[in-house]
Amino acid sequence: MSQLTGVNTSDMHEHEYPLSFLEPNGKIASIISSNGHMRELDVNARTWTSLPTTTALNGSAVMYLPGKILTTGGGDIDVAGPAITTSQVIDLNAPTPAWRTVAPMANRRYSHNLLVLADGSVLAIGGHDTADQTGHTGPRTVERWDPTTETWSSMTPMRDLRGYHSTTLLLPDGRVLTAGGGRFSTALDFKTAQIWSPPYLFKGARRPSRRRRHGGARLVDRGSLARGGLHRQGVVHALASNTHTSTWTSAMFR
């Protein structure tokens, strides 16, 4: 490991975790949760530059397509005020990237999880209805975001609150595991887990995509890759990991 000299990332240091994403061009985009500032790291050029600022502070974020980020919810954690329903997107592939407000969530959420599902839609699950990591209340209704219409629809509610330190993962069979929550000061602890089946699992039998002369590989995290061939389509399905409202590696890129 070598040191990356000439780059000062001190403006990224804060008590909350920055939300970082690998762009298609190899650069790394990071959102500073507490003030909404966004920075871009170019390792090859050794530069640390500014990107547009989001007004959705202390929210959750996910890259739902290569270079396209959705951020939702959050709130003022300094006063533990009401969580917000704001949803914003940015396309880092655009010549001049800019945050754009889209339809809000139906429920106020802070410290919730966003998860890219196997069909490319995004799941918003859990969170508190106040910007408080020790909150005792929050929405149990799951919401699904359609990246084509950029709108939300409400799904089946959960049994337990999934707040701070909860986790949500996409399973290899397309279902969703959500678990935990709590483990901080006076917050309620939920040592439980539930599995949710998305709507695409109830559309009847589906034939696998046909491929000829294609390649495949088993990824190091036990995900899978099907690549190329005459089908001209590649799919990456990596198993997810999750921490503090950021879901890593869980995506299907076509």
Q: Give the dihedral of Cα atoms 172, 103, 87, 187; nearest 10 deg.
A: -80
Q: Are 75 and 81 in contact (CB under 8 A)?
A: yes
Which residue is catalytic, options 64, 110, 164, 200?
Answer: 164
Neighbours of 151 (CB within 10 A): 13
Structure tokens at 230: 């005459």
Active site residue 164: yes
Q: Which of 226, 227, 83 is nearest to 163 (CA)?
A: 83
Distance between start and end Cα atoms, the chain: 32
Q: What is the rounded CA–CA span in Å between residue 235 and residue 113?
A: 23
Phi and psi at residue 199, to the nearest 5°: -60, -30
Task: Identify the H or E element spanning 38.
Answer: strand 38-42
Q: Are 74 and 58 in contact (CB under 8 A)?
A: yes
Residue 126's alpha-carbon distances to 55, 142, 212, 230, in angstroms, are 21, 7, 42, 41
Catalogue the active-site residues. 164
